Chain A
Amino acid sequence: MSSSSPSNKETVMRKVPLFSRMPILPPSVTVPASIILLIILLALLVPIVSPYDALRQNLTERLSAPGTAHILGTDALGRDCFTRIFYGTRISLFVALIPTAFAVLIGMAAGIAAAFFGKAADALVTWLSDVTLAFPGMLLAMVIMYSFGGSFSSIVISIVIMEWGSIARIVRSVTLSILENEYILAARSIGVKRFNIIIRHIIPNLIPTLIVLFTLNIPASILSESSLSFLGIGIQPPEVSLGLMVNESRTLLFNKPHLVLGPAGMIMLLVLSFNFLGDALRDRFDQEV
């Protein structure tokens, strides 16, 4: 029979490794990613590295100019500005990552449910996300902050509410396009239960989308937290936050601009890095598909 039996010749060919290529990441991914990692590292290490305490006031050294002792000078209460920026970054990052993660999880669950569980679920999810998206996000957050007070958890809740709706919409449409594929029908015809289809086929194929949504929503969360803190209804002193620092020093903008530009610059750096990273990741995943 002349059917395709693997011949010796073929094995000769195969000795050359077919897939030896490692994914080499382009600089559009590595540059923002390393900036972010560096900031995170510094924010984590700042208690060890810095000789100053972010909260300890030192009234003898009020508003000292940038110099060798204090890289970015000290604020109105004599606290080292550079150290405080990294303490503030810790909180900003924490408050950015936690609610964004929640928003992505909730958005994913809602989006999958809308795409997978029939018309009623779809109508409900679409309606709910429309309602939350209909209010200006900041206004909604302010209402929550005023009613529950400026605590961590209320910041988290308001950011989640602001972000889950748009995530759910995107997840829904991506899930619908995944469902079009024949491997879903194949799984059904094999007899795989619906729950397992979601776990084994839909979620793994959603992961690139979720990663991109996560990175692209982090800047929005950072900005929300900073804005709320700047307005005085977010993080409360004596805690440190970038938005709060800008607020505390805003009257000194013309005399001591570094006190405002320092934390503001850090906000900008974080937001831009996450934005560029998200864009680059999206382009990369698009290529893959």
Chain B
Amino acid sequence: MQTLISARNIKKSFRIGRKKRFLAVNDVSLDIFKGETLALVGESGSGKSTLAKLLMRLIKADEGSIAFEGQEIEELSEKEMLPFRREMQLVFQDPASSLDPRMNVRDIIAEPLETWKVYDSREKTDERIMELLDMVELKEDSLKRYPRQFSGGQRQRISIARAIAVNPKLLVCDESVSALDVCVQAQILNLLKKLKQEMDLTCLFISHDLSVVSFIADRVCVMKDGEICETAPGEKLFKSPEHEYTRYLLSSIPGQ
């Protein structure tokens, strides 16, 4: 299998207070292979979100190296990083704040297409937007409406449409289904799985919910206090967890 992203020994700490530093990610090495869904699981404060932002170079690591398709990206400037931005897209947790309330759906989905000048005419862009709406199972009349007119699940669909618009290689979902009701959550999970198959996406799926992860992930990475304590294929991890903390997490799921 080919590696899409490979991170080596990355560290990141944040300042808290005047002298103290909080080590959010501590010496983590991680590979994401092409075409797989890798899940990062952990409790709040385990550093999983920070790790995702580091991999996307939305924040800079203190130490370590990150390679995207073999190219070193950790040391690139914001400007040199731009071409890579197209290849990795992000879907957030909170569908309320991740969409600009003053833009309608058309403009939201058009933003990546126009930023990357994918199409030379407005008609072609609009055509692609319609195609995307269809892919995320939204109706055509959504185009001229604003985010607040949609429910949480529908907003998450808009977010997904925006993220896949430029055919990225990597889709990062940061707790993308955590804020949704179970029924809607199931719809969005199915959608993500379907899109992943159709578009040959690589997916980094961050979640605290182990049952969700067991549904969607090929490989699971368990994080605790900024370190990875176990990485294993999903089925193996859930059937015979090796690390003590993984076992503890699994036993805590209510109603299992």
Chain A residues proximal to chain B, CB less than 8 Å: 1, 3-6, 14, 18-19, 181-183, 185-193, 196, 200-201, 204-205, 207
Partner of B98, one of A183, A193, A207: A183
Binary per-residue interface labels of chain B (161-203) against chain A in the complex, 1 for a CB within 8 Å, 0 otherwise: 0100010000000000000000000010011001000000000
Query: How many angstroms between the C-alpha atoms of A51 and B88 in the bound complex?
Result: 72
Contact check, A185 vs B58: say whether CB atoms are below 8 A apart: yes
**Residues of the A chain whose Cβ atoms lie less than 8 Å from the Cβ of B18:** none
Q: How far is the CA of A18 from the CA of B56 in the complex (A)?
A: 39
Cα A3 to Cα B190 with chains together (Å)? 7
CA distance A187 to B89 in the complex (A): 10
Chain A residue with minimal CB distance to B149? A19
Return the contact of B111 from the options A6, A190, A207 (Cβ within 8 A).
Answer: A190
B145 at the interface (CB under 8 A from A): yes
Residue on A nearest B138 in the bound complex, by CB: A6
Number of A-B contacts (CB under 8 A): 76
* Known pairs A186-B98, A192-B115 / 8 extra A-B pairs, C-beta < 8 Å: A182-B92, A183-B100, A186-B99, A189-B58, A189-B85, A190-B89, A200-B111, A201-B103
**15 A–B contacts, CB within 8 A, in A order:** A1-B190, A3-B190, A4-B190, A181-B98, A182-B94, A183-B99, A189-B56, A189-B85, A190-B85, A190-B89, A190-B111, A190-B115, A190-B166, A192-B111, A204-B103
Q: Number of B residues contacting the other chain (C-beta, 8 Å)?
A: 32
Q: What B residues does A4 contact at CB under 8 A? A: 137, 187, 190
The answer for the CA separation of A273 and B229 in the assembled complex, in Å, is: 66
In contact, B137 and A5 (Cβ under 8 angstroms): yes
Closest chain A residue, CB of each to CB of B146: A19
Q: For residue A188, which residues in chain B have a CB less than 8 angstroms away from its CB?
A: 58, 85
Residue B70 interfacial (CB < 8 Å):
no
- Asked if B90 is at the interface of the complex by the 8 Å CB criterion, the answer is yes
Kindly report which residue of chain A lies nearest to residue B100, judged by CB atoms.
A183
A128 vs B185: C-alpha distance in the bound complex, in angstroms? 50
With a cutoff of 8 Å between Cβ atoms, the chain B residues found around residue A201 in the complex are 100, 103
- B residues bordering A, Cβ < 8 Å? 56, 58, 82, 85-86, 88-90, 92, 94, 97-103, 111-112, 115-116, 137, 139, 145, 149, 159, 162, 166, 187, 190-191, 194
Min C-beta distance of B222 to chain A, whole Å: 25
Partner of A191, one of B103, B112, B145: B112
A205 pairs with B101, CB closer than 8 A = yes
Q: Which residues of A contact B115 (CB under 8 A)?
A: 190-193, 196
Q: How far does the Cβ of B175 sit from chain A's closest Cβ, in whole Å?
A: 11
User: A201: nearest residue on chain B (CB-CB)?
Assistant: B100
Interface residue from A5, A14, A18, A191 paired with B85 (Cβ < 8 Å): A191
Q: CB < 8 Å: which of A1, A186, A192 contacts B92?
A: A186
User: Are B116 and A191 in touch, CB under 8 angstroms?
Assistant: yes
B86 CB contacts on chain A under 8 angstroms: 191
B94 touches A3 (CB 8 A): no
The residues of B that contact A204 with a CB separation of less than 8 Å are 100, 102-103
Whose C-beta in chain A lies nearest to the C-beta of B107? A200
Complex: chain A residue closest to B99, CB-CB:
A183
A191 to B98, alpha carbons, bound, how many Å? 15
Q: Output the least CB separation between A200 and chain B (Å).
A: 7
Query: Which residues of chain B come closer than 8 Å to A1, judged between CB atoms?
Result: 190
Is B101 a contact partner of A191 (Cβ separation < 8 A)?
no
B82, B100, B162: residue with the most chain A Cβ atoms closer than 10 Å: B100
A194 to B102, CA, bound (A): 18
How far is it, in angstroms, between the C-alpha of A204 and the C-alpha of B103 when the chains are bound? 9
Residue of A18, A187, A190, A196 contacting most chain B CB atoms (<10 Å):
A190
Beta-carbon contact of A3 and B102 below 8 Å:
no
A192 to B78, CA, bound (A): 11
Assembly CA distance A182 to B108 (angstroms): 13
Chain B residue nearest in CB terms to A205: B102
